[in-house]
Structure 1
Amino acid sequence: MQASRLKAAVAVAAVAALAAGAAGCAKSDRDSGGGSAKTGGTFVFAGAGDPKNFDPIFNDDGESFRPIRQMYETLVTTKPGTADLVGGLAESWEHDPAGKVWTFKLRKGVKFQDGTAFNAAAVCFNFDRWYNMKGAAAQSNMLYYIDVFGGFAKNEADGLGKPIYNKCEAKDDSTAVLTLNQYKGAFPGAFALTSLSIASPDALKKYDADTVKQSGDSFSYSAFATEHPTGTGPFTFGGWDKAKNEITLNRNADYWGEKAKVDKVVIKIIGDESTRKQELRAGTVQGIDFPAPADSKALASEGFQVLPRPAFNILYLGFNQKNPKLQDLRVRQAIAYALNREQLVQTKAPSGAKVADEFMPDTVLGYAPDVQKYEYNPDKAKQLLAQAGASNLTLKFYYPTDVTRPYMPNPQEIFTVLANDLQAVGIKVQGVPRPWNGGYKDDVQTFGKQDIHILGWTGDYNDPGNFVGTFFGRAKNEFGDQRLTDMFSAISAADAKVDENEKKAAYEQVNRDLATKWLPAVPLWHAPPSIVFAKGVSGVTPSPLTDERFVGVTVSNG
């Protein structure tokens, strides 16, 4: 990779060092108990929930990204086990001093899985497709695109701003030049986002990829997204058998890089955590993700590989200020004081977790050590509620089911602890459980039906905009915070700082203000999630970004 001439993003060395120290690769063949690793066969991994679909641009969750990452690739990617940027479909990249013109030198000889050529024209087709996307339903599903590029050629969904993207030009087959309307600190890290994976233009056109329809609270997607996803990755789509709850990925024999070791990967969707453990022990699956904290030691003692990832995430309790009571800062502060977060971490979080005081880890530029901290103080909470005239407050508390997330291994138990804390200061809680896909995220993020909710984030790249900008950089139904225009402006201004020292200072002030005058949510914890493999599995490296690839996986017969 050509060295960047602009210190625009953040040094990723801190996360890389954490990853190197805390995460290892699933054990080597010679350590697999005497068995020999075999090429071929099938690797079965237990997913915790249904994917939304398989079109990268319409997704923003890990259960969808797991299969997508095996089928597609991005211009820029990360070195396994770290957040260090390395070449993906682009061998190198550079930008002008203003950070507005990015030139990518592309790999040659790469083909999409439908046999068509990957080239600069295909890259530009994808960027132009996203920018020119039509329809409010489609635009509202492109959350990562919006976070990075702000808006479209014509905004049709709510809460969108001016587009960062300007144009893409294919100078020749192996040179794509991307021009932005303004500098954005997310780059080059954002070019590694799974949502910005490059898909086959022919397949996108053939299967009407841009068709997204909304019916009530539900969305339906194109044949491309559900039956014919087509990228350049080491695995091809083999089908989603919803009766068996299985997604099959087949080895791509024409892959441009090192070929996959196994013939098939099967992602078996098992919503119940206990059942996932049972199937791991029975040998019907060879890997599971995000074990409950109490299970990690037991699984390790049984000979399973329990591999921790560095904690590069945040869990938070969000406030929807559509509720007039929650528009009062004193009520939001009362809720913050009411939560015994230290006890929550000690009883429900994975080993090594810690209470969060900000919405990003302390390894990210702009973390401010001097933010206001909300220590557990139920008496203070009651006083603030009384002052605000909200002593008889009733809140609809939404929480997800049928899912385990890196930052949220046990949502039902987390909800129960937090609800008890709130009820202890006189807040009546109406729990509303909703399935992760097909309910929860739409209710919370699209329609804003909740009063409060739990949600979180695993960083995609090491930049403050990927945390606080993603959450609070624009008006969203999740928080009902359209009135907080000064918050949006402050985050936008911080992100626009080209000088690293100025950017650091601006984001530190953003974090201070998030904790005091805005308080759109309460940060709860940073937790190191684990991934678990059977003892004969080799070739998967845990990622701080939960970006594990299965191209090198093998399963021994020992």
Structure 2
Amino acid sequence: MLQLRMARTRRVALIGLAGALAVSVSACASERDDQGGGGGNEDTLVFGAAGAPKNFDPIFNDDGETFRPIRQMYETLITYKPGSAELEEGLATKWTPSDDGKTWTFELREGVKFHDGTDFNAEAVCFNFDRWYNIEGAAAQSQMIYYGDVFEGFAKNEGDAGGEPVYKSCEAPDPNTAVLHLNRAKGAFPDAFGLTSLSMSSPKALQDYNADEVTQSGDSFSYPAYANEHPTGTGPYKFEKYDKAAGTITLVRNDEYWGEAAKLSRIIFRIIPDETSRKQELISGKIDAYDLPSPADYQALREAGNQVLVRPVFNILYLGINQKNTPELKDARVRKAIEYAINKEQLAKNKLPEGATPRDQFVPKETIGYTDKVEKHQYNPQRAKDLLAEAGVKNLNLKFYVPTEVSRPYMPDPVELGGAIADNLKAVGINVEIVQRPWNGGFKDDVQKAGKQDLHLLGWTGDYGDPGNFIGTFFGREKPEFGFDNPAIFTALSTADSQVDKAAKATEYEKAAVEISKYVPAVPLTSSPPAIVVGGNIQGVVPSPLTDERFAGVTKSQQG
């Protein structure tokens, strides 16, 4: 999903696989049903998950493998239209901001109940927002990644949490109206209200199962019964069990769902860490789907009768530049020379999945704030050499950090991509030492916290359709990843983020994008379309640019 970025690289971090065991499948249909096989059961969708979930409390999570089952059980006030980042009604049927953007009024859907039978209403909405804002303890707040990014602070900032809170209060003038009060306008709204982390939980279940009792021991966190055994939302599926020994998560249809009932009675997520094993299980019919197939496998999967559903592009791969360690990198001419030196067209054509395209800015074309007015630095080795000469730079030596043990649709082989970029830089006289670090074994700490690198390779998949989710996240404040302090850019992004009017916001983000393109704090490289693969007998999966697929409308026919 980071999916990779400085303050929010959590979303792309490789999730823990401890306790996740592939499940052997019996030829007996009843055993397949229990163990998670696909095969002949027309009423169960079996999804091959790459890793184990962290837990099932939306607010404490940030990774795709955990969000996938959560999205089937929970709902948000606003959601996204299938196959796009456009907004549509969720648990709220209407949302209205005040003129100054500091108040949001939600008209709520009537007749909705949580899985425990309690009512979803305005008091429940306020309970959730107040819960998030008031959670105490460094352990809890340091794990509330998306809430912290959007709302910027808590009633009591501790641990990694800090900043002046955006949230002020919530009131429920009647059961069907919730009014959210903010300390200041936030341009991420209303889009960010659709974040999976901001899903609505049952207040009763949160209280009954001690939802806020998160404890920390060193770098490890332990979560209470609500998160592990009793997740309670309003969605079309509800939690049945998580069998850690078998490596399966089972959800069952919510027969009391307020909307159209789910087509299938169950969803089973089988944890299969090895991608080759997931492919083999799909081809053999033991699972029905899995995410992010290797582009090299597309043809074989299709020939075996499966459907490779390519998502709309909503991501970016970039080359980060850290200005802190090497004085020459403080010169914009040197940073521009680095961009001129890189052959983005060849990267997209030879090193990335089919459909990859070069990029000249960090905002996607589909998002407001994209502009053709950015300063472009297209591949031109001679121009790169000239700029280095103008800057008086010779024999520049740079440490280029490249992650290993990670693969993303926009970065399927980081080491190979890093090698191609290093060759481009060497061709214009920049000496590059490639430093490989495992994603969860040094890279994140070295790049995100210590800032040891001169250059680094990262990427990002958008969470929602707002430009602040891209350039605001990357360049809104000084970070070890980039090591620069540019008040003009910080102010431009802050101004854009405070706009309530969509046209005004677009204009301000375009201005910020132009300033960023002139300053070159990092080099936008390419975007690539990710895919999700499903069996030939599966219908109703709509690929989402946000990887926000919902399975309530999925049907499954008997394989021939």
* TM-score interval, smaller chain: 0.7 to 0.9
Structure 1 residue 374 and structure 2 residue 382: aligned? no
Partners of 1:79 and 1:413 in 2: how far apart?
Answer: 36
| Runs (5+) with no aligned partner, structure 1 | 1-36
Query: Which deviations, in whole Å up to 9, do the C-alpha atoms of 1:35-77 show, x marking residues without a partner?
Result: xx99963211222344333222222332221111111100011
Counterpart of 1:427 (choices 432, 440, 443) is 432
Deviates more, 1:107-116 or 1:155-164: 155-164
2:24 maps to which residue? none
Query: Which deviations, in whole Å up to 9, do the C-alpha atoms of 1:200-256 show, x marking residues without a partner?
Result: 222323333334445444444444333332211122233444444433322223322
Partners of 2:135 and 2:149 in 1: how far apart?
Answer: 15
1:349 maps to which residue? 352
1:545 maps to which residue? 546
Query: Which deviations, in whole Å up to 9, do the C-alpha atoms of 1:310-343 show, x marking residues without a partner?
Result: 2122222334555455862455445434433222
- Taking CA–CA contacts closer than 8 Å with sequence separation of 6 or more, which of the two structures ends up with the larger relative contact order? 1
Q: Relative to 1, partners in 2 of residues 1:427 and 1:67: Cα closer, same or farther, differing over 3 Å?
A: same
Partners of 1:123 and 1:394 in 2: how far apart?
Answer: 51
For 2:549, give the aligned amino acid: E
1:252 maps to which residue? 254
2:134 maps to which residue? 132
1:178 maps to which residue? 180
Query: Which deviations, in whole Å up to 9, do the C-alpha atoms of 1:510-555 show, x marking residues without a partner?
Result: 11221222x3322121222222111000122112222110112222
The two structures have a TM-score, normalised by structure 2, of 0.83
Counterpart of 1:268 (choices 263, 270, 289) is 270
Helix, strand or coil at the partner of 1:427 = strand
8 A Cα contact 2:76 2:193, kept in partner: yes
2:125 maps to which residue? 123
Query: Which deviations, in whole Å up to 9, do the C-alpha atoms of 1:16-47 show, x marking residues without a partner?
Result: xxxxxxxxxxxxxxxxxxxxx99963211222
Partners of 1:357 and 1:247 in 2: how far apart?
Answer: 42
Query: Which deviations, in whole Å up to 9, do the C-alpha atoms of 1:70-123 show, x marking residues without a partner?
Result: 111000112222333221111222232333222212222322223332221111
| Runs (5+) with no aligned partner, structure 2 | 1-38
Partners of 2:139 and 2:425 in 1: how far apart?
Answer: 36
Helix, strand or coil at the partner of 1:300 = helix
Partners of 1:458 and 1:93 in 2: how far apart?
Answer: 26
Q: Relative to 1, partners in 2 of residues 1:49 and 1:162: Cα closer, same or farther, differing over 3 Å?
A: same
8 A Cα contact 2:325 2:452, kept in partner: no
Q: Relative to 1, partners in 2 of residues 1:415 and 1:233: Cα closer, same or farther, differing over 3 Å?
A: farther
Counterpart of 1:303 (choices 279, 300, 305) is 305
8 A Cα contact 2:402 2:434, kept in partner: no
8 A Cα contact 2:71 2:550, kept in partner: yes
Deviates more, 1:74-83 or 1:287-296: 287-296
8 A Cα contact 1:460 1:466, kept in partner: yes
1:15 maps to which residue? none
How many aligned positions are there?
A: 517
Q: Relative to 1, partners in 2 of residues 1:447 and 1:290: Cα closer, same or farther, differing over 3 Å?
A: same
| Percent pairwise identity | 57
The two structures have a TM-score, normalised by structure 1, of 0.83
For 1:536, give the aligned amino acid: N
8 A Cα contact 1:422 1:428, kept in partner: no
Partners of 1:57 and 1:427 in 2: how far apart?
Answer: 41
Partners of 2:89 and 2:548 in 1: how far apart?
Answer: 15
For 1:427, give the aligned amino acid: V
- 1:311-390 to 2 correspondences below 5 Å: 311-321=313-323, 323-324=325-326, 328-330=330-332, 332-377=335-380
For 1:315, give the aligned amino acid: L
Partners of 2:549 and 2:62 in 1: how far apart?
Answer: 16
Helix, strand or coil at the partner of 1:186 = coil
Counterpart of 1:491 (choices 490, 493, 506) is 493
1:533 maps to which residue? 534
RMSD: 3.1
2:16 maps to which residue? none
Deviates more, 1:420-429 or 1:336-345: 420-429
For 1:474, give the aligned amino acid: R
1:10 maps to which residue? none
8 A Cα contact 2:50 2:275, kept in partner: yes
For 1:531, give the aligned amino acid: I
Query: Which deviations, in whole Å up to 9, do the C-alpha atoms of 1:160-211 show, x marking residues without a partner?
Result: 4322211100112221111122222222211111111111222323333334
1:469 maps to which residue? 472
- 1:397-476 to 2 correspondences below 5 Å: 397-401=401-405, 404-421=407-424, 425-435=430-440, 445=448, 452-476=455-479
